Chain A
Amino acid sequence: MSLLFKGRSQGAERTSISATQRLMMFFVSHVRQALASLGELWRSPGASMMTIAVLGLSITLPSTLYILLKNTERVSAGWEQASEITLFLHRDTQPADIQQLVTRLSVWPEIDSLTHIDKNQAMQEFKEISGFGDALNYLDQNPLPDVILVTPTSKHTSPTAAGVLLDKLRNEREVEVGQLDIQWLERLHGLVAIAKELVTVVALLLFLAVVLIIGNTIRLNILNKRDEILVMKLVGATDAFIQRPFLYTGFWYGLLGGLMAWVTVALLLWWMEDSINQVAQLYQTQFNLSGLQGEALLIMLALSVCLGLAGSLLSVYKHIRAIEPK
């Protein structure tokens, strides 16, 4: 509707078309503008490829680091499951009491399984393995204590949870010493946490750079089209209408950059696979590197598109407003 002239309708309102038709036209015009923006990129392939490459490579680095980190976590999660608590019992504990203790502990929700190593059996093994043999017979009593190996359930394998469980076990009357070798786990967790933070910081800085680079590219586009924008404003184009092609350009930069990052990450992982497998063999583990798939891929593409849009929005908001016919 015209603001100044009652009864004078502006634009498409004037032709009597149904709401669905109007909705269709809305989508058709958006698709057309999106394709027009893509065509515009195609017309200057050199400059476009450069911007897309900057975006793609900037996303590749944090994505690759993220994947490596995720895989490290996956592997170390396997190790953690093996974390065991060793309980050394008082030497004078009677077999019946040990049996009772095992029965009591086996119903604890934190505990997955228990193994009792009898002190006599341990002595026997020690004799055989150590080779001291008969020398040990001269001891008037078995110096070894009974030992119970406790495997926590998966929920309680993290260093802190396992630590809490250990404290609880130490309170048992029969237990003399309880041990959990969690130091290396804590170190690993600490390292992974630092790496995570580092990746986050690097990613944020790169993303900021990408937004600024896209913003600057779009700014140059806008300045190149200054005359056209002036004419459009003279004949009554809203800022929203003028902005749209530039936003689509940002969208395409984001999407194409994201796809490029996907391909680059896949290539990098393929290239690194051999050396990673070698390391895995040292640790005697079977290890498959999992790349970017499904949800993670979608998230990366969405992120890339968001960065492209953010850069163009920033630029468009600042520079299209500033161009006014005088």
Chain B
Amino acid sequence: MKPAAFEYHAPTTVDEAVALLAEHAPNDGRILAGGQSLVPTMAFRLARPNHLIDINNVADLGKLTVEDGALCIGATVRHAQFHTPACNGVLGHLLTDVVGNIAHYPIRQRGTFCGSVAHSDPASEWCMVAATLDATMVAQSASGERLIPAAEFFETVMTTNLNEDELLREVRIPMLSDDTVYGFQEFNRRAGDFAISMTLVTYRLESGKITDPHIGVGGAEDRPRRIAEAEAALAGQTPGDEAFRAAADAAAAAIDPMEDHATNAQYRRDLTATLVRRALENAAS
């Protein structure tokens, strides 16, 4: 399990990085961020890039600030930077609650937020957060910048809308209003593993009724996404068991669960209903 040979590049500026990417991407040149997904795949030789462009020494990618009502997360921001709230308000807490579910402490010291999003494992927590909260991805190539909404970004298992010469420079997550409530649930068989299914829900109340519900599901399908049917079932309802169950059932009915040797579709569907219901209960409590 030794990686195949590659040429190593360590740019120090974004311009240099995207120039290298433009040059080498056609010859399987790739970004190396935290390496926590890429290096294992290289160890199994499932990935064998000819060039690795290591962005860890690029100075301007460490941004983690709120700009124009969104939390902007640069490409070298590590998972561990969310162990304490990265911004004020509900969003900061939400991200802190979620991050503890991503892998394990040492992996979170290296793995990056943007790396997760670019890698786009269907069971990535950050991908689900980005999808649920309508994040915007900022793609940078030698020829310029492109903004991609989350709904268009995630295409299927480990496939995104990013072009091969594009660096995911930044992810922008809209800040959440102070009256937003949220709930997060995931289930895996063993601590730190990728989830079999997971969900993030947010909503606000207006005169006691649920408004602006977001129900995102990850891990169950080939990509994370908001489940419109579940959100519709929830909108305008009074929080409570009945509404939550209806939304949970709607989510379970709407998804097209993946199957693998360990987990069948039926189990994932049932599990998703449970998790959505519980997440809504968390949000309400």
A joins B in a complex:
no
On A, residues with C-beta under 8 Å from B are none
On B, residues with C-beta under 8 Å from A are none
